[in-house]
């Protein structure tokens, strides 16, 4: 397992749409492991494959003690809305308020090739939406109603 370089918002690769994973290969498993190590090292809430230079529909989200490895994830249900402050590992030094669903249900495939569904509310719902947006070339700054400089002393996790 290794740490991967996280691309910045001005990298045009982050604006491209990711391709589905056709087969779960050793490369995909290594990518998942590396993304988990990278998000932990960066103190992030989640990481999408494009952020580490891979245009595949792969996401890792962590919440409390749980890690969600998602291959070909899709949001299948949303409810209500919330506005939360977001930051991003690919947009260092910035944060912004974004309106997102307050509840989401995501269907994805795990590393063993099994399809599953997971529900998220509050910050977990934000994390799922934020990371899945990356798979379509969308950054939180595209949706933010206000973007401000992030206080370097903040301990908040970056989504």
DSSP assignment letter at 150: P
Question: Positive or negative CA dihedral for 128, 40, 141, 95?
Answer: positive
Residues 107-119 have pLDDT tens digits of 999 999 999 999 9
Catalytically active residues are 131
What band does 157 get if pLDDT is binned at 50, 70 and 90?
very low
- What domains, with CATH codes, occur in the chain? 12-149 (3.90.45.10)
Q: What percent of the chain has pLDDT over 70?
A: 94
Helix runs in 4-102, H state only: 26-41
- Check: CB of residue 43 under 8 Å from CB of residue 158: yes
Average pLDDT of the residues in 7-11: 95
pLDDT at 155: 47
Residue 58 bridge partners (DSSP) = 71
* pLDDT, mean of residues 121-140: 97
Q: Which residue has the tokens 């595209």?
A: 142
Q: pTM to 2 decimals?
A: 0.92
- What is the pLDDT at residue 65? 86
The pLDDT assigned to 73 comes to: 98
């Amino acid at each position: 397992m290794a740490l991967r370089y996280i691309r910045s918002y001005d990298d045009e690769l982050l604006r491209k749409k990711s391709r589905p994973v056709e087969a779960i290969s050793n490369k995909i498993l290594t990518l998942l492991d590396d993304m988990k190590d990278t998000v932990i090292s960066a103190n992030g809430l989640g990481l999408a494959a494009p952020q580490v230079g891979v245009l595949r529909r792969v996401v890792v989200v962590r919440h409390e003690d749980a890690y969600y490895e998602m291959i070909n994830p899709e949001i299948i249900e949303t409810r209500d809305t919330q506005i939360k402050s977001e930051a991003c590992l690919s947009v260092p030094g910035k944060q912004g308020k974004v309106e997102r669903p307050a509840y989401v249900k995501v269907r994805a495939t795990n590393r063993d090739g099994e399809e599953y569904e997971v529900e998220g509310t509050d910050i977990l719902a934000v994390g799922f939406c934020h990371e899945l947006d990356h798979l379509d070339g969308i950054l939180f700054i595209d949706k933010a109603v206000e973007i401000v400089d992030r206080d370097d002393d903040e301990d908040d996790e970056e989504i």
